[in-house]
Amino acid sequence: MFTSTYECKVDDKGRLTLPGKLKTELMPVLPQGFILKRSVFSPCLELWPRQEWDKKLAKINELTRFTRKNAKVVRSFLAGVKTVELDASGRLNIPNDLLEFAGIDKNVVVASQISIIEIWDKEKYEREVEVENNEEYAEMVEQVLGGLETEQK
């Protein structure tokens, strides 16, 4: 599980150097490689450890392809998917089509989504996480997380 957020830069060749602390977190999953894809809900990229991706793909594969909706969802979900690995210098090469999708130019935020990692253009990330109305945000947290009740009393 990943829990940190980092600011990084992408070089002119689309290579993202991951921070040392993140590479340390990734050590257990490095040998299997990663899947890099477009996010479904946001203008960012998702970096999936191969093991997490394979679990998600197994569930998706259970869908019948004989309904238009399912076929379209599978096709769209897999659009632009790339298998990637860190190079010898610990850099992640982001293909041009994915850089373009996410609007990534230079400054990047690498943010945890617990079992996957999001890669954002820094300005877009700042807009996404900006909380304009603290009361509205508090209500969303209460609605989404308030029912989890996993803490011991």
Give the predicted TM-score (pTM) of the model: 0.86
Query: Rounded CA gap, 105 and 102, in Å?
Result: 9
Q: Where are the beta strands (DSSP E) in 3-136?
A: 5-9, 15-17, 34-38, 45-49, 82-84, 91-93, 107-112, 117-121
5-145, what's its fold?
A: Chemotaxis protein chec (3.40.1550)
pLDDT surpassing 90 at residue 35: yes
Structure tokens at 23: 């590479």
pLDDT at 141: 84
Give residue-wise pLDDT tens across range 78-136. 999 999 999 888 899 999 999 999 999 999 999 999 899 999 999 999 998 887 667 77
